[in-house]
Structure 1
Amino acid sequence: MAHTPFCFLIIERDSFIAQDMAEGLAEASPDCLSRRYASIEALLDTAETLPSLPALPVIITKQSLSDIDATGLGALAERHDWPVVVRLDLDPPEAVAARGWLTLPSPFTRPDLMQMVEELLAELPRQALRRA
């Protein structure tokens, strides 16, 4: 288990799935924070407060790439250099990876969440360089 400076912003309508994900993320990263949003719009309504979080926001969504683009979520993530994780369902993994984003299987398992956290940790040094 790794100590991580992440705040996972989980966009998920189903509260049970979101809770299962949050629990798995807490297992993979005991010090992480998690927030659930029922929709992209709900997250965007709080977007002004997100840069002040004490940890790096990581957006996790099952929305399509076209929905992410249409709502402005992708632009928000890019503007703040926040990682995005797309749960695979609607778009091919290659399309997600082409944007520099990570993928998560749908449905996901605890090992999938642990692997995702490890991938995010591997990205931290590169992200710090981009911000410098």
Structure 2
Amino acid sequence: MIDAGVFDGTHAAMMVNPGTSDVSTARTLSTLDILVEFAGKHSHARAAPSEGINASDALTITQVAIALLRQQLKPTDQVHGIVSNGGEAPNIIPRKTSTHSYLRAADFESLQVLQERVQRCFEAAALATGCMLSSTSLSPAYMEMLNN
């Protein structure tokens, strides 16, 4: 909206977000919205499993690597993710999987450090499985919002 000029000439803006309690100065973290896709090679899971490159394995390794990384993150760092594509059928080794994730940190500099660390989890999973990796930012990285 900023890039489209929606706020040109605006001198003040207010954000309202409903919640379960009254908060006058909510803390808004710096945020990045990313989609990661793993591409492998499909194969029949019983008839020819050794001929596949399992993109689901890459997704599993990613989830485990991020879970292990969490113990070393700052208390204000957050990684939220879902499996947005897990494959086509249980008896087919998936050739493509994807995860949609939010990365959040107290400030923009910390977000950049968090992004590098999480990106290495994605890269390690691709390397371990032989999958190709594609990572796309779904929106610009947003800086933390400072209350005034």
- Name the structure with the higher helix share: 1
- Name the structure with the higher strand share: 2
TM-score, normalising length from structure 2?
0.26
Structure with the larger RCO, 1 or 2 (CA within 8 Å, 6+ apart): 2
Which has the higher Rg, Structure 1 or Structure 2? Answer: 2
